[in-house]
Amino acid sequence: MVVHSQQGALNELFLIKTCKPTNLFTEVPEVDLSHPEAKTLIVNACKEFGFFKIINHDIPMELISNLENEALSFFMQPQSEKEKASLDDPFGYGSKRIGKNGDVGWVEYLLFNTNPDVISPNPLLLLEQNQNVFSSAVNDYTLAVKNLSCEILELMADGLGIEQRNVFSRLIRDEKSDCIFRLNHYPACGELELQAIGGRNLIGFGEHTDPQMISVLRSNNTSGLQICLRDGTWVSIPPDQTSFFINVGDSLQVMTNGSFRSVKHRVLSDTAMSRVSMIYFGGAPLTEKLAPLPSLVSKEEDSLYKEFTWGEYKKAAYKLRLADNRLTPFEKSAGQ
C-alpha cells in the first residue's frame, strides 16, 4: 500500500510545474499607515509594482494568530475529514486543482463566500472541528481586513487627488460587494518530492493577477511568494508575519486607466516548512459597472478599457487559465 501511495503522489506531482529559485527582493515598498505621506507612498507603489507592504495596521496579532491556529488545525486533519468541507461549487475545501480549467498546484485551501447574493453553505458547518470557534475567527478576521482594505483604498483616492474619497472603498462597503476569503496551505515539499523534481521548486499557486480590486495578504514566516517586476524578472518576497501585503487587482487597474498596475504573482513551495496564507479579495458588486474614472482620463479617446460589469468580467476571467491575460478582451483597440 505504501508503494501505491508513493506512486500516486509522484503521478500527481508531475502535473505540477516547477521553476528555479529566484533572487530575494529587498526593495518591497513599505507603508506605515500612520505616516503623513502614506497616501503618496501607496500611489507610487501601485504605479511601479502594484504591490506593497503595510505596517502599523492596528489589527491585533491575537486575532491573526487565532485564525492561523484554527486553519492549521483544519489542514492537519486526515484527508477524509477535510474533504467533508468540499462543496459542489467554487467554495469550500479543495486540494491541488485550482479552478476548472486544468490549473494545478502544491496547495490545499478553504474558500469562503462573503457575497449575500450568492447562496452557498458555510463549509465549516460540515466539519467535526469546533465550527463555532473557527467561524468566529474567520468572521472577526475578515471584518478587520475589510476595514483595512477600505482605509487603504481611501488613501489611494487621496493620493490620486480624487475628490470623492470613497470612490473605491464604497464598492467594498456595499452590502452586495462580491468579496471572498481564502485560506491556503502549502505543505512542505518532502524528500520524495524533492528527489523527483531534481531540486527545483514546486509551484504551489501558478502565476496570475487577481481580478478583484484589492487583495490583502497575510502569511506565516515561510517564504514562497514571488512577484513579477516590469522587466519580467521574478523576485522572491521576504516573509513578514506581522505585516500585510497588498496586491492591486485587475479591476483597480481598469478604474485607474492603467495608472495602477495589477501585479502578476505566484507562490512556490518550501522544501522544509509549510506555508499558511490568508487572502481577502475585495470585489465590487456583481452589477457594478467598471470603467476608467472620468477624473483620471483627459478625454474619451484616452480611455484604455471598455465599460463592463464586475459580474461580466468575473465570468470571463474564470473561464481562462491562471496565467492568461484576462483584461485583453476588455481593452479598447486603437481608434475605438
**Catalytic residue IDs:** 275
Report the C-alpha gap between 212 and 283 in whole angstroms.
Answer: 5
Longest dimension (CA), the chain: 68
Report the C-alpha gap between 247 and 283 in whole angstroms.
Answer: 13
> How far, in Å, are 9, 150, 187, 227, 297 from residue 30 at the CA level?
40, 18, 28, 15, 29
For residue 328, the SS3 value is helix
> How far, in Å, are 151, 156, 275 from residue 33 at the CA level?
9, 12, 26
Q: Which residues pair with 268 in a beta bridge?
A: 203
Report the C-alpha gap between 111 and 132 in whole angstroms.
Answer: 17
